[in-house]
């Protein structure tokens, strides 16, 4: 029932978003600035139609009682629409931050509302996708796990795909740093633009150090056991759980930022010819950042599951089962 209510709200949201973009595609207001790096016109309308189909399928499926295979299909459709909307509207955080430093005009507000509406619509689709997947897998209503198949505590081993994501992120970081190393050897680092902006070399060294941590320690911590439980050599902390968001927060933030800024904006600008430079250099730089971000997001997904708090309902059920068995044996 909760899925159905959320689906109705999400469907209405997608309709409004789509109608506004139909109006803009047919008769765009004079001087309307672009809300996305992607082309406007009918593209957001098409995404809105897919999003409406996904959200509407959840509402219809809730009324008719879809089978698990149908729920998986609906979850996939909503995930696709949610990713498309979020990718199209990924400039929303940038626009939101820019109002702190720029004059707020009617055009700024319009772009902010349009991009924000797309981002909210994408999140609604992703939320419905997650709920439908849980329903299809008959996941626990209390914690979202499929008991017996999902990890129950952080001591369990990360899946192979989490390790693949972590080492993909490290590979992407190394590809990006190969460009920096080439510039350092050629004595073209720091760049002329950095010098003109007055950025000091010590500040850039500190920045490079933080990049190194985010490109090696962070992805490895997301996959390896020592990123979830403090290792033995840390003395008093040994064996204690690592605070979940100490690792997961930077992983999601860095992963999302790199994948969106370089994977979506950077690659789009390169494809349009807006960025000039040697092919190999751009491939290593933009491609490295993109793989780095994607790898972090993949490893973060595993970390998110492995570090969930224990399921109280499952624990109580286990204790109750044990108590019933004990009573029978005494009888």
Pick the closest to residue 162 from 305, 14, 65 (CA basis). Answer: 305
Pick the closest to residue 248 from 163, 294, 306, 161 (CA basis). Answer: 306
Q: Print the domain residue range for 211.
A: 160-309
Rounded to whole angstroms, the Cα distance separating 179 from 183 reads 6
46 and 131 co-located in one domain: yes
Read off the pTM. Answer: 0.74
166 and 254 co-located in one domain: yes
Q: What is the pLDDT of residue 321?
A: 36
189 and 240 co-located in one domain: yes
Burial class of residue 121, CB neighbours in 10 A (0-12, 13-18, 19+): buried
Contacts 24+ apart (CB under 8 A), 184-190: none
Q: Whose structure tokens read 């709920």?
A: 131
> Does residue 45 sit within a domain?
yes
Q: What is the pLDDT of residue 105?
A: 80
63 and 173 co-located in one domain: no
Residue segments in the chain with a per-residue pLDDT below the cut of 70: 1-2, 29-33, 101, 141, 149-150, 190-199, 314-331
Give the contacts of 172 (CB within 8 A, at least 6 positions apart).
215, 287, 288, 289, 290, 291, 292, 293, 294, 295
* Residue 37 CA: distances (Å) to CA of 53, 92, 127, 163, 321: 25, 11, 25, 32, 56
Rounded to whole angstroms, the Cα distance separating 277 from 267 reads 13
Q: What is the pLDDT of residue 183?
A: 87
179 and 48 co-located in one domain: no
Rounded to whole angstroms, the Cα distance separating 113 from 130 reads 26
Rounded to whole angstroms, the Cα distance separating 206 from 305 reads 32
Q: What is the pLDDT of residue 179?
A: 93
8 and 124 co-located in one domain: yes
CB of 293 closer than 8 Å to CB of 263 = yes
166 and 300 co-located in one domain: yes
DSSP string, 163-199: HHHHHHHHHHHHHHHHHHHHHHHTT--S-HHHHHTT-
How many helices (H) and strands (E) in the chain? 13, 0
> Does residue 142 sit within a domain?
no
> Does residue 322 sit within a domain?
no
Q: What is the pLDDT of residue 205?
A: 83
Pick the closest to residue 140 from 320, 315, 319, 323 (CA basis). Answer: 315
> Does residue 20 sit within a domain?
yes
167 and 305 co-located in one domain: yes
Other C-beta atoms closer than 10 Å to the C-beta of 315 total: 12
15 and 116 co-located in one domain: yes
213-245 pLDDT per residue, tens: 999 999 999 999 999 999 988 889 989 999 999
The domain tally of the chain equals: 2
> Does residue 329 sit within a domain?
no
128 and 169 co-located in one domain: no
> Does residue 211 sit within a domain?
yes
220 and 294 co-located in one domain: yes
Q: What is the pLDDT of residue 326?
A: 32
Q: What is the pLDDT of residue 14?
A: 96
Rounded to whole angstroms, the Cα distance separating 113 from 89 reads 10
Rounded to whole angstroms, the Cα distance separating 160 from 183 reads 35
Rounded to whole angstroms, the Cα distance separating 76 from 314 reads 28
Q: What is the pLDDT of residue 329?
A: 32
> Does residue 301 sit within a domain?
yes
> Does residue 172 sit within a domain?
yes
289 and 237 co-located in one domain: yes
């Amino acid at each position: 029932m909760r899925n159905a209510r959320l689906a109705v709200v999400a469907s209405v949201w997608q309709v409004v978003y789509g109608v506004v973009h139909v109006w803009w595609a047919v008769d765009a207001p004079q001087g309307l600035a672009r809300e996305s790096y992607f082309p406007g016109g009918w593209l957001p309308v098409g995404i809105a139609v897919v999003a409406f189909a996904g959200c509407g399928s959840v509402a219809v499926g809730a009324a008719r009682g879809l089978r698990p295979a149908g729920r998986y299909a609906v979850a996939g459709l909503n995930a696709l629409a949610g990713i498309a909307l979020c990718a199209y509207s990924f400039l929303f955080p940038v626009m939101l931050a820019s109002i702190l430093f720029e004059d707020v005009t009617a055009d700024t507000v319009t772009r902010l509302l349009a991009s924000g509406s797309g981002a909210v619509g994408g999140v609604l689709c992703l939320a419905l996708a997650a709920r439908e997947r849980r329903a299809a897998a008959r996941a626990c209503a209390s914690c979202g796990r499929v008991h017996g198949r999902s990890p129950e505590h952080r001591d369990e081993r990360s899946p192979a795909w989490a390790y693949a994501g972590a080492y993909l992120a490290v590979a992407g970081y190394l590809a990006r740093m190969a460009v920096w190393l080439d510039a350092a050897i050629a004595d073209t680092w720091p760049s002329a633009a950095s010098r003109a902006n007055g950025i000091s070399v010590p500040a850039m060294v500190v920045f490079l150090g933080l990049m190194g941590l985010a490109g090696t320690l962070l992805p490895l911590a997301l996959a390896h056991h020592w990123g979830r439980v403090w290792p033995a050599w840390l003395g008093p902390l040994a064996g204690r759980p690592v605070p979940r968001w100490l690792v997961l927060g930077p992983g999601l933030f860095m992963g999302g930022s790199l994948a969106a800024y370089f994977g979506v904006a950077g690659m789009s600008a390169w494809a349009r010819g807006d960025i000039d430079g040697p092919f190999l250099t751009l491939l290593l730089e933009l491609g490295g950042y993109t793989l780095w971000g994607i790898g972090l997001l993949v490893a973060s997904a595993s970390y998110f599951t492995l570090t969930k708090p224990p399921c109280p309902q499952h624990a109580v059920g286990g204790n109750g089962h044990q108590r019933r068995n004990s009573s029978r044996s005494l009888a």
